[in-house]
Chains A and B, each alone.
Chain A
Amino acid sequence: MQPLVKITALTKQFGHLTAVDHLSFSVEPASVYGFLGQNGAGKSTTIRMLTGLIMPTSGEIEIFGLSLAKHKKEILQQIGAVIEKPDVYQYLSAYDNLQLFARLSGIRPTRISLMDQLAQVGLAERAKDKVAGFSQGMKQRLGIAIALVHQPQLIILDEPTNGLDPQGIADIRHLIIHLRTEMKKTVIVSSHLLSEIEQVATQLLIIHKGKKVKEGNASELFDPAKTVVQLSTERNDTAWAVLQNSVWQPYLERITPEGIILKVDRRQIPALHQSLVQLQIPLISLQPRHSLEDYFLQVTTPGYVDTLSN
């Protein structure tokens, strides 16, 4: 199957700073491509290059089989994007904003279809209200309605959950899944939060300092055998001694002021919990450290687990 997006040796330099460094990846149709990296990793710069906001220093961007440099207008007709914050015109209503951007996208939708779009993102009742009075979540939903108003094939969402409450985050997650499964759209979504991306992405790319670190599907990337677990007890030193004389000894990594670090298979965590109870270790918390930072450093920095103790 021909990829919908094909990026080859994409590079962007701002003066002496190389924000994106020979990055290559491809996105399959009807997939959700998760784009992961810490702040400043080059995610937004890459996404801005994909949408024509930033000119690449070198490299090639092909979308729908066309070169972005040569066919920008045709390509952008089939792209809907929300880049960082969903900023719209504060002095216009939600309806007016949607209508304005629909016209810019080359369509003249009817009032009914615009109201339908607003209803889909839960803003129909606030259609005539000025955006200045909207919450961040409502603005985000309006931004998504604007991105989808012209029925694009490819949707690009840059940090779509920034500033949202848990319900808003869940709504975005459901929307992304809906776009892929029900509407057969291709979605590129960037985030620095692994927990969000892993729930929706069919394919993942991790970048650091503008370079590709790892690419693959979620099950390939998140090797359950490498889950780092931190447990905290009332007496960590006593617990450490007890665990050293148990079946968990091979999994022990280090004791830290915050707790005991183990590296176990994720599926072993319930058994570990049961053992702690049986060994009469008074447990305060047991948590898999699954943040992007941990995971990211785990896959990029040899001996990263040791550094957790410092």
Chain B
Amino acid sequence: MWTLFQIEVYKIFRRPRTYIAFAAITGLIGIIQFGLKLDGEQYVEFMMRDITSSITIEGNILNGYQVCYIVLQVLLVHVPLLIALVAADMISGEANMGTLRLLLTKPISRDAFLVAKFMATMVYTLLLLIWLAILALFLNMLIFGTDDLFLLKSSYVVLLRENDIFWRYCGAFAFAALAMSTVAALGFLLSLFANNSIGPIVATMSIIVFLTILSTLNIPLFSYVKPYLFTTHMIGWKEFFDIKVNASNEALSGTIQHPMRIIQSALVLLAHIVLFLVVSIWVFRKKDILS
């Protein structure tokens, strides 16, 4: 099993396709950093235009934490596509190349082979998120410095003190890794049903888009299924940036307003990952290799 896992990780990182996602994230974050570095003041003015008349804000608003939040809001919508590029290719790509039949004539169990591939996909997903964290958090902290984080929510404003932010990002990235792993697990499952990777990649993205629309539509009929859709819970990372307040409406440092929501969302995502993996194993056990 360990040998299989090593081989799968080795194969992932020897493929040129793998680096498309890393290059895309680097390019996108670079553009955002470039734009905000040159034109950041105007951006802040635009962002604050509705509240500057009622409150006065001092300090470095466009700091590394702020930029990281902007990056995450923009990028975490598109990262699933980059994840699907590799995850949805894991089995279908082997079938397309013809290597699947050669692999399965070797003395390895199908279950072990599939689990090794799944684990390697998770490693890829995790590394992609770590790369995102390095560029979006650490690099921005270096470029833009650190200060308090000022977040405008739909009906209120959140101000997080500088010493109360870093751990929230750690939690948010860990949660995002879980959400992206769910996407990876879905892409992985779909890759079992095709002999080329285009179909599973498109199918993965179509399902995510479809379910995201269902998750965001405020139609009562859909409210019954929303809690069970993994797309409803994929934005749970934002919960780390909501802080508890006391009776005097003072923020309580080191707290999260709805910790149970995070746990609940994490459990739903985890359940989906397990479900996708179990179905994948079940399908693969019975699959005739005709490619």
- Interface residues, chain A, CB within 8 Å of chain B? 14, 48, 51-55, 72-74, 76-77, 79, 81-92, 96, 100-101, 103-106, 143, 146
Contact = CB atoms under 8 A, between A and B. Distances in A.
12 contacts: A53-B105, A54-B289, A54-B290, A55-B288, A77-B107, A82-B102, A89-B14, A100-B11, A101-B106, A104-B3, A104-B106, A104-B107
B49 interface: no
Contacts of A53: 101, 104-105, 288-289
Nearest to A76: B107
B153 interface: no
A106 B107 contact: yes
Closest 5 CB pairs of A and B: A87-B98, A53-B289, A76-B107, A104-B106, A77-B107
Contacts of B16: 91
A81 B108 CA distance: 14
A92 B14 contact: yes
B7 interface: yes
Contacts of A54: 288-290
Considering residues B4, B103, B104, B286, which has the most beta carbons from chain A within 10 angstroms of its beta carbon? B104
Contacts of A14: 288
A93 to B, nearest CB: 10
B99 interface: yes
Contacts of B11: 89, 100
Given A88-B99, A91-B15, A105 B288 contact: no
B107 A83 contact: no
B179 to A, nearest CB: 30
B48 interface: no
B101 to A, nearest CB: 5
A175 B103 CA distance: 23
Nearest to A12: B288
B52 interface: no
Contact of B107 (A74, A85, A90, A91): A74
A89 B105 contact: no
Contacts of B289: 48, 53-54
Nearest to B112: A73
B109 interface: yes
Given A54-B290, A73-B109, A104-B108, A90 B97 contact: yes
Given A48-B101, A103-B7, A105-B106, 9 more contacts: A54-B290, A79-B105, A84-B98, A88-B102, A89-B97, A92-B14, A100-B7, A100-B11, A103-B3
B215 to A, nearest CB: 38
Considering residues B3, B14, B97, B101, which has the most beta carbons from chain A within 10 angstroms of its beta carbon? B101
Contacts of A76: 105-107
Contacts of A82: 102
A89 B99 contact: yes
Q: How large is the interface on B (under 10, 10 to 19, 20 to 34, 35 or more residues)?
A: 20 to 34
Contact of A87 (B99, B106, B286, B288): B99
Contacts of B4: 104
B14 A73 contact: no
Contacts of A83: 101-102, 105
Contacts of A55: 286, 288
B24 to A, nearest CB: 20
Interface in B95-150: 97-99, 101-109
Contacts of A104: 3-4, 7, 103, 106-108
A79 B98 CA distance: 19
A295 B10 CA distance: 49
Contacts of A73: 107-109
A250 to B, nearest CB: 50
Interface in B236-291: 286, 288-290
Contacts of B104: 51-53
Contacts of B10: 100
Nearest to A100: B7
B151 to A, nearest CB: 44
A146 B98 CA distance: 14
Nearest to B16: A91
Contacts of B15: 91
A238 B264 CA distance: 94
A92 B102 CA distance: 15
A53 B16 CA distance: 28
Contact of B14 (A91, A101, A103): A91
Nearest to A51: B105
B97 A81 contact: no
Nearest to A105: B106
A89 B98 CA distance: 9
Contacts of A86: 102
A86 B99 CA distance: 8
A83 B16 CA distance: 27
B163 to A, nearest CB: 47
Contacts of A74: 107
A91 B11 CA distance: 9
B288 to A, nearest CB: 4
Contacts of A100: 7, 10-11
Nearest to B106: A104
Given A85-B98, A87-B97, A52 B108 contact: no
A163 to B, nearest CB: 13
A81 B105 contact: yes
B102 A87 contact: yes
A88 B289 CA distance: 16
Contacts of B105: 51-53, 76, 79, 81, 83
